[in-house]
Structure 1
Amino acid sequence: MAEKTRLEIEHTEALGQLARRTANLADAQAQLRGDDRLTDQAVLALIRAFNTEIKETAAFLADAFEFEKKDGAEAPSDLDTAEELGEVHERTTEILGPELVALLRTTDHHGDPALVRLAFQGGMVEYARWMSASWFFEDPEDEQLLADIYQHVRAAQPQAVAGRWRALTHTHVQELIHGAPELSDYFIDAFVNVLLTAGFRSSAAALHAVVGERFADRIAALVRLAIGLNKAVGAEVTACELKVLSAAPGVPFDAETMIDLVDGAPQAGEAVLCTCKLGLSRADKEDGAWTKTTLLKPTVVMQSGLEELLAQGDSTPTKTNSKP
C-alpha cells in the first residue's frame, strides 16, 4: 500500500512538471514566433494620425505669431549677439537644410506665414522620425553602441529572435536610463528656432517660455504620438522591421520612394526642400535575405513647386493678431 501511494505521488508530480514545461514551451514558442501586439497596418494608422497632428499644429502656431514687414532684407533680431543669432541659424539648418533656412531669413512673412508653417512641419517631421527610431531618446552618437549590437543580432539570428531581442532591450533600456522621456523641449526648440530664423522679434528665452506655455496641449499631443510611435516600432512589432521615413533636405527626389506634395513633376535630380509628411517601410527576412516594402511614401516639397504651394493659401484653424 505504501509503495502504491509513493508511485501515485511521483506520478502526480511528474504530471505537474510536464504541465509546467508544456506551458513554458508554449510561451517560448510564442516569443520565437514574434507574436505581436500591433500589426504594420496599426502602425500605419498611427503615422497618418501623427501627420495630421503635425499639419494642424504647424498651421495653428504659424497663425499665432505676427511678423514685422521685411524690406527686401533680413529683419532685425532681439537676440543679444550676432553669435547667438548664428547659433540659432545653425541649429535650424541642421534640421531644415540651408535652402529653407535662407528662404525663411529673406522672405517677408508679414500677413502670410505659409513658409513658416511649412518650416514648422519640416522640423516636426524630422524630430518625429528621429524619436521613432531612438533607443532611449539621447544623442544618436550615445545610442550607437546599441544600434551596432542590433545590426549584428539581425545579421546572425532569425527575425523572430532578433525582433524579440530588440523589443526586450528597447523596453528595459528606457526604464533603466530615465523612465518617462522628456521630449517637449525638442519640439519647443524647433518652433523657437524657426520663428527666430524667420525674423520674429523676441529673445530666445522669452519665446521658449511663451511657446511652451501657450501651446502646451499641442506639444503634449505631439509627445504622446512620438512615444507611442517609438514603442510601436521598437517593442510592439517583432515579426518584421518597421522604419519611419522622411527625406533629408537636399537629397535628390526619387519618385519610387517619395511623393511630391505639389505633384509638379520635379526635374531629374532636383533636391528635396523638406519633408512635410512621414512615411513607413517594412522589411522582412526570409532565408537570410531581406525584402523591403514601402507602406507609405513620405511627402516632400520641392523648390520648383514652392511658389505654387505658397500661392494656394491653405486655410488655417486659427488667427490671432496679438504679438506674444
Structure 2
Amino acid sequence: MLPVANLHLKDLYDTTVEFFALRSPSFLFAGPSAAPTHESENCRALTPVPDPIARLTRECSSLRERLDVAESRQQHSTCTCQFSQQSPLQPLMRRQLDLTKNELSTSKIEVLRLEERCRMLERLLRETKDMLKARDTEIEKLKREREQQRTLDHRHRSDASLRYQFRSQSQRDKEESLSPPNSISPRPDSTLLAIYGHNHSLSNFRNGHRRDGSGTSSIISIASSEEERAQARAFELFLTRTDAWSGAQILQAVHDINSEILQFAASATETCSFERDAHTLAAKNSQAIQDTAARLGPQITRILSTRDHSQDPILVQLALQGCVVACIARALSSFCIGWPSKADSVILQVYAYMYATEPQPTSSRWRSLTHKHIHKLYPTLEDYGNNDLVETILRWIADVLTVAGCTPSLSTSHSSPSSSPHISQSLPHSNSLSQLQLNQPSFTKEALRARFGDQVRRIAKSVTKLAQVTREEVMSTNFDLVAVGYTDTFDSHLMQDSFADYSTSRGSVLLTSEFGLRCTTKKGGVAGMSVVADGKTDDGIERRLLLRPRIVLESVLDVLDPK
C-alpha cells in the first residue's frame, strides 16, 4: 500500500515542482554557467502548462481593443452619416427660408398696396358723398324757390281777384247811385221804370260776366299748375341724373387718343426718307409752307424747312403730332363736329351766355338736349364729321411732310400703277433717283389715305365719341381737351415740357404734342360769386386741370444740337 502511495505523492510532487518550476524566474532566466543537472534536464523535458490567467488577460485585452476599434468606427460612421444628412438639408432649409422671406415681403407689399387702394376708395367715397350732398342741397334749394314762386303766383292771382271784385262792387254802387227812385224829371213814370230796368239788367249781366270770368281764371290756374308740375318732374329728372362716364374714364380716353396720335406720327415718319438738300425741295412748295405756318406757326415751319432730317427725324415726328393735335383741337372748338360754322357760332354764343347766367344743371340740360336733337335731325352728321376730320388731318399731314422735304421710301411707298412697275423693274442710279424724287411731289393726300387711312379714321372716331360723351352724357361738369397755341407763353403750372429732363425749358412754344384735360364746374348760380380753384378765381366757376398738355419748346434744339 505504501509504495503505491509514495508513487502517487511523487507524481504529485513532480507535477507541483514542475508547475512552480515553470513559473520560477530562476528557472526561466537561469544563467549559462549553471551546471546542468539531471533534475534540470528532466524539467526541460517536461511539457509546459498553459497559463489560464494570462490567456484570459490577453483575450480580454484583445476583446477590449476590438471593442474600442468597433466603437471608434461606429462613432466615425455616425458622424459621417450626420454630416452627410445635414449637408443636403442646410441648402434646402436656406431655400425654404428665402422663399418664406420673399413671400413675407410680397405679402407686406400687397398689404401696403391694398391699404393705399382702400384709402383711395375711402377718399373717393367721401368726395362722392360730398358731391351728392351738394346736389341734394341744390335740389332742395330749387324746390324751395319753386314753392316760393308758386306761393307768389297764387298770392298775385288772389290779389287780382280781390281787386276785380272790389272794382265790380264799386261799379255796382255807382250804378245804383245814378238811379234814385224819387228824382224829379219831366219824363213819365214808365220811362223811369224802363231806365231803371235797363240799369238793373246791365248790372245783372256784369255780375254774370264776373262769375264766368272767375270760372275761366280757375281753369287757367289749374292748367298752369299742371304745367308747372310737369316741368318740375322733367327738371328733377335731369337734376338727379348721374353721369354716364366718370372723370377717370374720360381721362383714360384722352390718354388713348394721345397714344394713337403718337403711333401714327411714328409710323408716318418711318415710311419717309429725307434728302440732305430738303430746303431746296421745300422752296418749291411755297403754298404748303404758307399753310403750315398759318396752322402750326412760323417757327416750327422754319425749323422743318431748313434743317437736315436725314440723320434724326424726331422733329418731323413731333411736327406730325402737333399737326394732328391742332386739327383735332380746331374740330372740338365747335359745339357740334361737322355742323355749319354760322349755325354753330350762334349755338355757341347761346350756350356761353346760358352757362354764365344759369346754374350748372340747367346749362348742362340744354347742352345735352341740343346736341342730341341736332344729331337726330341730321342722322348722317356724325359720319360727315368723321370724314371731314379725316380729310383735314391727311391734308395737313401732307403739307407738313412736304415742308420737311420727305419722300416716300421705296419699300413702303404707294405709287400709282403706272410708275410702280417701272421703279421695281429697273432701279436708276442714285443721282438720277434723287433727281426723280425732287421733281415729283413728296407726298399726296391719296398716298397717305391708302397707307394710313384706317389709322387716322380710328383717331377721328375716338375724338367724335369723346365729344358726344362730354356734351350729352356728363351733367355735373364740363370736360374740355386742352391744347397750347404757338402764341401762348410757357407756364410750368399749366403745361409740361416734353424735354424738360434733357435741357432747361426756354424759348417760345413750338407745338403741342399731347392733349391735356380740364374740368370746369359752375358752383354758384348767381354771377359775382368768387370761387378759388387751382390758384385762380372766377365768377362762380371752378377750373381744375386734370392733365397738363405736353408741349415742345425752342430748347429742343439744344437737345438735338448739343454744343
Common fold: TM-score over 0.5: yes
Match of residue 489, structure 2, among 252, 265, 270: 252
* Partner in structure 1 of residue 505 of structure 2: 266
Aligned to 2:549: 298
1:103 partnered with 2:303: yes
Q: Calculate the TM-score normalised by the size of structure 1.
A: 0.79
Query: 1:39 is matched with which residue: 224, 227, 246?
Result: 246
What letter corresponds to residue 150 of structure 1 in structure 2? Y
1:196 is matched with: 402
TM-score w.r.t. structure 2 length?
0.47
- Contact in 1 for aligned 2:337/2:464 (Cα 8 Å): no
Give CA deviations for 1:6-35 in whole Å, capped at 9, x if unaligned: xxxxxxxxxxxxxxx999966642313452
The answer for unaligned runs of 5 or more in structure 1 is: 1-20, 313-324
Conserved? CA contact 1:132–1:229, under 8 Å: no
Q: Which amino acid letter does the alignment assign opposite residue 273 of structure 1?
A: L
Asked if 2 retains the 8 angstrom alpha-carbon contact of 1:167 and 1:235, the reply is yes
**Offset, 1:272:** 0.8
Which residue does the alignment assign to 1:162?
A: 363
Relative distance call for 1:139 and 1:276 in structure 2 (3 A) is: farther
Of all paired residues, the percent bearing the same amino acid is 25
Name the residue aligned to 2:281: 76
Contact 2:504–2:555 (CA under 8 A) maintained in structure 1: no
Counterpart in the other structure of 1:3: none
Alpha carbons of structure 1 residues 276 and 228: separation in structure 2 relative to 1, 3 Å:
same
In structure 1, give the amino acid aligned to 2:319.
A
* Residue type at the aligned position of 1:94: A
Q: How much does 1:194 deviate?
A: 0.5
Structure 2 residue identity aligned to 1:64? T
Cα RMSD after superposing both structures: 2.6
Q: Supply the distance in 1 between the matched residues of 2:450 and 2:348 (Cα, whole angstroms).
A: 35
- Given candidates 320, 323, 332, the residue that maps to 1:123 is 323
Q: Deviations over 1:228-263 (max 9, x none)?
A: 121122222121111110110131101110011111
C-alpha distance after superposition, 1:65-119 (max 9, x if no partner): 112222xx71225x9xx6xx33222221122111000011011122432111010
Distance 1:23 1:153, change over 3 A: closer
Partner residue, 2:424 = none
2:294 is matched with: 94
Which aligned pairs between 1:1-324 and structure 2 lie closer than 5 A? Answer: 28-70=235-277, 74-76=279-281, 85-134=285-334, 135-137=336-338, 143-177=344-378, 178-179=380-381, 180=383, 181=385, 182=387, 183-200=389-406, 201=438, 202-203=440-441, 207-263=444-500, 264-267=503-506, 270-288=507-525, 289-308=540-559, 310=560
| Aligned positions, number | 281
Compare relative contact order (CA 8 Å, sep 6+) and give the higher one, 1 or 2: 1
CA distance in 1, matches of 2:484, 2:546: 15
Tell me the secondary structure at the aligned position of residue 337 of structure 2. coil
Show structure 2 runs of 5+ residues with no match: 1-227, 407-437, 526-539
CA distance in 2 between counterparts of 1:311 and 1:226 reads 36
Structure with the greater alpha carbon radius of gyration: 2
CA distance in 2, matches of 1:307, 1:189: 31
Aligned AA (1:121)? Q
